[in-house]
Structure 1
Amino acid sequence: MAFLNKIKQPEFWSNFAKVAIPFFVIVTVISLLINSSSEIFSGDFETLNKNNFSDGKWKNFFGFKVIFSVFYGLYITNKKMK
């Protein structure tokens, strides 16, 4: 079945959400652990906020992860659906 026909099915979007949302959460948690593990484990959430989310940094932090998760979800769901 062609990709355009698959995306018209409600089942496709249900499966997409099952793939993309957990992937987004996992990528976000791993990214925070890699970039700011010392702040997380010491409980210094003010510095964590300052380094990753304040002054519009949240757009860059989440933007790539959202786009990557959407493409990954579309690819995997398209690949697995018949």
Structure 2
Amino acid sequence: MSFLKKIQQPKFLPNFLKVAIPFFVLVTIFSLAINSWSDIFAGDFAKVAEANFNNGKWKAFFGYKIVFSAIYGLYITNKNMK
């Protein structure tokens, strides 16, 4: 079955969300841990915010993760749909 036919099935979107949302959360947590582990462990969330979110940095921080999670979710859901 082609991708366009699979995406039209009513169960495609719920299955996509079941994959993409947890993947997005995991990628976000992993990224924060890699970028600011010492600041998170020290409890200095002002430095975490400055390094990752302030001055418009949140757009790039979340933008790449949203796009990557959507692509991953589409791939996995398409692969597992019958």
Q: Would you call these one fold, judging by a TM-score over 0.5? A: yes
| Structure with more of its chain in helix, by fraction | 1
Q: Return the offset for 1:10.
A: 1.7
Q: Return the offset for 1:48.
A: 0.5
What is the Cα-based RMSD across aligned positions, in Å?
0.5
Partner residue in 2 for 1:33: 33
Partner residue in 1 for 2:71: 71
Alignment of 1:59 onto 2:59: yes
Gaps of 5+ in 2: none
Alignment TM-score, normalising by the size of structure 2: 0.98
Quote the Cα distance in structure 1 between the aligned partners of 2:48 and 2:77. 34
Gaps of 5+ in 1: none
Alignment TM-score, normalising by the size of structure 1: 0.98
Partner residue in 2 for 1:10: 10
- The percent of aligned pairs where both chains have the same amino acid is 65
Q: How many residues are aligned here? A: 82
Regions of 4+ moved over 2 Å: none
Letter in 2 for 1:20: A
The CA deviation string for residues 24-45 of structure 1, in whole angstroms up to 9 with x for no partner, is 0000000000110001010000
Partner residue in 2 for 1:45: 45
